[in-house]
Structure 1
């Protein structure tokens, strides 16, 4: 569990991390450098679920390599499927990260929603429905590994 006491907002307790695959932790079908090492450290603290439509057909293999759970979405209304997953895990105890329009509801519903403004960009809808925007997935994962960094951003 990750616990963060944010002045003016209270104590956050996170048990789950939900990560969008394409455009968030991977680019052009390859996991972004530095992500596997950070996920290895985070696995000791939270349950990690990677969500994907598996357009490249390699999600299960990736899950084994990264030692994370893979949640494959069915074609059609991916936004609702991601939202349902966060609700099943427990919205208040879930951190979500994504960049696409289909991530907006998931980020808004999560106890902490982080929009990744990476090389693929980020949907304006997603940016408007998150708690913070950060330009790099590794920096975002580091926020969870060093939660004091979040306090400065989220405090009131």
Structure 2
């Protein structure tokens, strides 16, 4: 996805990095429509899910979904997520999350989207993001229609 935001850098997104719980899932269960959207956009983007897997459900929930799942241990999860984005090439990453452990990832990525859904969002994550949405499905709307970002982010 390439899009020019007036007054900002041009975005060239190749990777989408999602947190799992509170972002793609509610109480450990995948939000309806997410699997279909990831599979739909998989030819255009590489999808990654990085999570502490609080409920132990991520592997089963994302079976058959075109994404890489990376489970991180407890302790310095924010740093682990930040490093993951850095390794992918932060200038090509759209990161999505809702938790305090997502704030560095959101801040580091070329585009950070914080979600405020049923599980809420940490204020620090919201403050670190470029955009805030109320549904993970809105993120896929940006992938389908990148010019929506122009209206939101232009100076």
| TM-score (structure 1 length as normaliser) | 0.94
2:74 alignment partner in structure 1? 75
Would you say 1:63 and 2:62 are equivalent positions?
yes
Please, what is the CA RMSD of the aligned residues?
1.2
Unaligned runs of 5+ in 1: none
- The alignment of Structure 1 onto Structure 2 pairs a total of residues equal to 155
Gaps of 5+ in 2: none
User: Can you list the C-alpha shifts for 1:90-121, whole angstroms capped at 9, x where unaligned?
Assistant: 11110000000000000000000000011111
Tell me the distance in 2 between the aligned counterparts of 1:52 and 1:65. Answer: 18
- Identify the range of structure 1 (87-96 vs 28-37) with the bigger mean alpha-carbon deviation: 28-37
How far did residue 66 of structure 1 move?
1.5
Alignment pair present for 1:93 and 2:92: yes
Task: State how far apart, in whole Å, the 2-side matches of 1:8 and 1:16 are.
Answer: 23
Within-5 A mapping of 1:113-132: 113-132=112-131
Q: SS of 2:63's equivalent?
A: helix
Deviations 1:9-29 (A, max 9, x none): 132101110000000010012
Question: Could you tell me how far apart the structure 2 residues matched to 1:32 and 1:104 are?
Answer: 22
Residue in 2 aligned with 1:15? 14
1:122-143 Cα distance to aligned partner (Å, 9 max, x none):
1110111110111111012211
Q: Does the Cα contact within 8 Å between 1:38 and 1:142 map onto a contact in 2?
A: no
